[in-house]
């Protein structure tokens, strides 16, 4: 915007708002919007691919090393040092997200109700949609129509999803990541909740420890956090798996940007639509909170891991970049292994 002057500041902010109105990674969708403004549909494709491809290739190389070297004790020690640092980074993101979203008693009640529904076994997508409907109905019918106490009762009625074991297939990888990319709102860290629900709980293709490894790699590499999908795809299906996972999770962003442009102003002007998105974001906060709690079991497993987490928290307070914090955890993990 500043150096090339392709868009005005006002236009840039409009595109940023548009990126927040549809599911998917906001930074990627903003890049796609800018490409479309600059060069139409070809620009849309080029901008999106250029923004995501370098990170996907870097993550693929790391995933290759992970598959080949993951059994080595020194490599395992590096990952063990990264996990508590990643946990703290996610926890800090959760706190920032909460301070931004939970500004009213109704939002707090909706987030707590969503968390309770999730802990009782309700499906993530069901909770997001239900929270959006509750918030939109309250906006449409008036503040008194749905009081704070009614949100838990409504969300508690959601039916839990039954787990179903399945074999890893390229079609399954593509379909699962396509679904996630089509419905994920909020911070990129909400992705972790969807990944855990599908790949750890529903399909059983990953463990919590492997999921934390994937998030750690996504944290320390450049580009959108959504390239965590590339890592998981490679671990589960090699290079073809990485390709279909990457395409699956980013494809919805291209589609949403292409079709949402003419509708953005109308959507933004609708109070009910805005309230729906507020409800979805409150439920996204609950997703992050629940999955962060569950991942703590694999991140904080020993006194050294708790110490790494404490130092990582201090480093975040001092505004150290999160990538350096995770790399620092890796260095501590390797050092502890070397001294053992």
The 3-state secondary structure of 147-213 reads CCCHHHHHHCCCCECCCCCCCCCHHHHHHHHHHHHHHCCCCCCHHHHHHHHHHHHHCCCCCHHHHHH
DSSP helix/strand/coil, 63: helix
Residue 90 confidence class, pLDDT cut points 50, 70, 90: confident
Neighbours of 323 (CB within 10 A): 13
pLDDT score recorded for residue 258: 83
Please give the residue that has the higher pLDDT: either 194 or 3.
Answer: 194
Helices 170-183, 124-141: axis angle to 10 degrees equals 20
Report the C-alpha gap between 188 and 25 in whole angstroms: 6
For 214-270, the pLDDT digits (tens) are 888 877 777 677 889 999 999 999 999 999 999 999 999 888 888 876 665 566 566
pLDDT score recorded for residue 162: 42
In whole angstroms, how far apart are CA 17 and each of 29, 33, 171, 238, 331? 10, 11, 33, 36, 39
Residue 154 confidence class, pLDDT cut points 50, 70, 90: very low
Q: Which of 283, 124, 123, 293 is nearest to 208 (CA)?
A: 293
Q: Which of 55, 54, 19, 52 is nearest to 34 (CA)?
A: 19
Tokens 């928290």, residue located: 313
Among the residue ranges 12-16, 93-97, 195-199, the one predicted with the least confidence is: 12-16
For 171-211, the pLDDT digits (tens) are 999 999 999 988 887 656 788 888 988 999 888 999 888 88
Q: Collect contacts of 5-11 with beta carbons under 8 A, ≥24 apart.
A: 6/34, 6/37, 6/38, 7/34, 7/37, 11/37
In whole angstroms, how far apart are CA 52 and each of 57, 103, 129, 246? 9, 33, 28, 9
Neighbours of 154 (CB within 10 A): 17
pLDDT score recorded for residue 159: 41
Residue 142 confidence class, pLDDT cut points 50, 70, 90: low
- pTM, two decimals, is 0.73
Report the C-alpha gap between 241 and 338 in whole angstroms: 34
For 21-59, the pLDDT digits (tens) are 677 787 788 888 888 877 888 888 998 899 889 889 999
Report whether 78 contacts 174 (CB < 8 A). no
Please report, for the chain, the start and end positions of each structural domain, with discontinuous segments joined by +. 9-339
DSSP helix/strand/coil, 122: strand
């Amino acid at each position: 915007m500043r150096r090339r002057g392709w868009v005005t500041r006002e236009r840039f902010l409009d595109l940023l708002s548009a990126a927040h109105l549809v599911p998917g990674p906001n930074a990627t969708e903003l890049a796609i919007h800018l490409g479309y403004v600059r060069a139409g549909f070809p620009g849309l494709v080029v901008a999106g691919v250029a923004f995501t491809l370098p990170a996907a290739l870097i993550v693929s190389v790391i995933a290759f090393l992970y598959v080949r070297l993951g059994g080595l004790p020194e490599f395992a020690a590096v990952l063990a040092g990264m996990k508590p640092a990643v946990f703290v980074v996610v926890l800090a993101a959760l706190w920032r997200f909460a301070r931004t979203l939970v500004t009213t008693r109704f939002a707090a009640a909706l987030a707590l109700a969503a968390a309770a529904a999730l802990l009782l076994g309700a499906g993530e997508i069901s909770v997001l949609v239900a929270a959006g409907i509750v918030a939109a109905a309250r906006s449409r019918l008036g503040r008194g129509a749905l009081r704070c106490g009614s949100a838990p009762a409504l969300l508690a009625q959601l039916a839990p999803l039954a787990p179903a074991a399945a074999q890893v297939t390229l079609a399954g990888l593509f379909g699962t990541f396509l679904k996630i990319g089509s419905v994920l709102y909020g911070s990129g860290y909400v992705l972790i909740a969807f990944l855990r629900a599908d790949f750890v709980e529903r399909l059983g293709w990953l463990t919590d420890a492997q999921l934390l490894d994937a998030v750690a790699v996504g944290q320390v590499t450049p580009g959108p956090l959504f390239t965590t999908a590339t890592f998981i795809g490679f671990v589960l299906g090699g290079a073809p798996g990485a390709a279909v996972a990457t395409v699956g999770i980013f494809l919805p962003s291209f589609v949403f940007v292409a079709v949402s442009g003419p509708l953005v102003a109308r959507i933004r002007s609708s109070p009910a639509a805005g309230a729906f998105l507020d409800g979805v974001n409150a439920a996204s906060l609950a997703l992050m909170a629940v999955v962060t709690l569950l991942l703590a079991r694999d991140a904080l497993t020993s006194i050294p891991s708790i110490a790494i987490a404490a130092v990582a928290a201090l480093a975040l307070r001092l505004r150290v970049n999160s990538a350096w914090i995770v790399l620092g955890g890796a260095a501590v993990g390797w050092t502890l292994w070397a001294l053992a």
